[in-house]
Amino acid sequence: MDGNDFITSVVALGGVPLIMGLVQLFKPFITDTRFYPLVALAFGLAINLIAGWALGASASSEWVTVLFNGIIAGMAASGLYSAGSTLKEGEAADKRDPLHEGDQHETD
């Protein structure tokens, strides 16, 4: 592993707290919680693509590595398990309807 690969990996893993912070900033603007993992994935890809460009990635294999690092960083930031469960909940995860959030009713 040369120095550039090491720096790319550090940016990918070091970007996870940054991605989490950016998602937290955007939460007031996104009412449906199902989109939080997608926002984290988008930020992970964007940050890693910018880092790859800044570090001078030129070969296609380097760009593939940058893309996978972005996907991994976005998934790590959103939490792979919570992302799957949030997407599976569907309409029950919508914050606009608190009565149906999580399919829990006051009389249950």
Residue 100 binned pLDDT confidence (cut-offs 50, 70, 90): low
Share of the chain above pLDDT 70, in %: 68
Segment 80-103 mean pLDDT: 59
pLDDT of residue 42: 93
With 60 as the cut, is the pLDDT of residue 101 above it?
A: no
Q: How many Cα atoms within 13 Å fall on the side-chain side of residue 12?
A: 21
pLDDT of residue 92: 59
Count the neighbouring beta carbons within 10 Å of the beta carbon of residue 105: 8
Reported as a single tens digit per residue, the pLDDT across 25-57 is: 988 898 888 888 899 999 999 988 888 888 787
Per-residue tokens: 1: 């592993």
Q: What's the CA gap between 105 and 56, in Å, rounded?
A: 54
pLDDT of residue 49: 87
With 50 as the cut, is the pLDDT of residue 1 above it?
A: no
Element (H, E) at 68: helix 60-78
> What's the start-to-end Cα distance of the chain, in Å?
56
Backbone phi and psi for residue 94, each to the nearest 5 degrees, phi listed first: -75, 120
Integer CA distances (angstroms), 92 to 20, 39, 50, 73, 98, in order: 23, 19, 35, 27, 9
pTM for the whole thing? 0.67
Per-residue tokens: 64: 């593939």
Domain boundaries, the chain: 3-94
